[in-house]
Amino acid sequence: MADTILKVENLVSTYGPITALKGINLEVKEGEIVSLLGSNGAGKSTLMKSILGMVTIGEGSSIQYNHDGQMVELIGKKSHQIIPLGIAIVPEGRGVFINKSVEENLEVGTFFRKRPAARDKELLDTVYQTFPRLKERRKQLAGTLSGGEQQMLALGRAMMADPRLMMLDEPSMGLAPLMVAEVFNVIKNVREMGITVLLVEQNAKQALKIADRGYVLTTGEVTQTGTGKELLADESLVAAYLGAKK
């Protein structure tokens, strides 16, 4: 049995008077792809922001992260303290620096390391191998890339951080179908590199296909959980997200 890398217990997150998460329990094991499904406003992005210490969190909540074999409590830490522990995020809407070149964008991914690591060059090569198109355009401004390429760049930047856990927030949003397929392929590659993946998606079918396990969020609560296959087979879930079969 693989070790737990992330364990969220009874997580309550609030934005002022609004409670966005009402006691979430979730576990991610080393080497897994875990998909987080739910409609708009279900609290998927809030969960990611909570893990990165960017949301107000209620009492009694716990977010444990396995850092070198020791469970570390993430609540109370800020994002710039959490990211160096080995958690990288591909934010919703990509968040690439449009006025910087592709290569500069990738370098930002290593920023939190005070000194450049010898591995940085190696990581850059890996990113360029995974995304040959980024190598071709490495001197180009990120703003001139297509939406799909920007998503690749955001993924590449997260890879540069050399993470153990990568969180992706709606990586397929606004992409053409071919690009969506490519993004999901890359996510599988990421896992093969030994990186655990926590994937937030609205594209439920695709997300469940590559996922080992999935969680379904509805208005701040986990309403369903199971392996990817189980959830895919669940008629009611498929109906809710993909429309009922005729």
Partner 1 sequence: MKKTSSKISGIAKILVIAAVLIIVPILSPNNYIQQIINLIGIYIILGTGINILTGYTGQLSLGQAAFFGIGAYTTALLNTRLGQQFFVCLIASILVTSFFGVVLAIPALKVKGPYLALLTQGFGEIVRIVMINWTPVTNGTAGILSIESPVIFGFAFDTLPKYYFLVVFFAILGLLYERSLINSRTGRAFIAIREDTDAAELTGINVTTYKIRAFVLSAVYCAVAGTLYAMMIQYVSPDTFISNTSSVILWTAIVGGFGTILGPIIGGIIMQVLPEILRFCGDWRLVVYGVILLIVILQCPGGLYPYLERFLRFLKSKVPANKSKSAAS
Q: Which residues bind partner 1 (CB under 8 A)?
A: 52, 54, 78-80, 83-84, 89, 91, 95-100, 108-109, 111-112, 157, 161
**Residue 167 or residue 187: which is nearer to partner 1 going by CB?**
167
3-state secondary structure of 205: helix
Where helices occur in the chain by DSSP H, the ranges are 44-51, 79-82, 102-108, 119-130, 132-136, 147-160, 177-192, 204-210, 228-233, 235-242
Q: How far is the CB of 217 from partner 1 (least distance, A)?
A: 21
- Report the distance separating Cα 167 and Cα 184, nearest Å: 13
Nearer to partner 1, 66 or 150 (CB): 150
Distances (CA, A) of 2 to 71, 120, 160, 207, 235: 14, 28, 25, 22, 30
Pairing of the two strands 196-201 and 33-37: parallel
Cβ proximity to partner 1, 157 vs 213, nearer residue? 157
Least separation in angstroms between CB 171 and partner 1: 14
Q: How far is the CB of 142 from partner 1 (least distance, A)?
A: 10
How far is the C-alpha of 209 from the C-alpha of 202, rounded, in Å?
13
Residue 137 beta carbon to partner 1: minimum distance, rounded to whole angstroms: 18
- Least distance from C-beta 155 to partner 1, angstroms? 13
